[in-house]
Amino acid sequence: MQENLSNKFSKLKIKWACSEGGAVKVRAHVFVSGRVQGVFFRSETRHEARLRGVKGWVRNLPDGRVEAVFEGEEEAVKALIDFCRRGPPGAKVTKVEVRWEDYTGEFHDFEIKF
């Protein structure tokens, strides 16, 4: 029975991890559609991420969307996703797709990818 439960849990994708301080750490892969390029969306997202201590990256996609990966404390990541739903002045967000993924801790900062 114990081995069977262990096998089931090992097959689950865990979307979060706990830091040493006990705060839940998460990873979100985000795609933002609408008028989101040419309106400082990437630079404002980087600014908001750094204010919240969120790590990861943001970039423009050839199809006109913005793609980003956010890692950090759950509440900070959720707040950054909320920012993406609004965007900076001049943006008109029509859709935000969020894919929750395994937290990796691979990032040391938040950057704009080109």
Pairing of strands 110-112, 92-101: unpaired
Catalytic residue set: 42, 60
Structure tokens at 4: 């069977």
Give the other-Cβ count within 10 Å of 87's Cβ: 21
Q: Determine the Cα–Cα distance for residues 13 and 35; give it in Å rounded to an integer.
A: 33
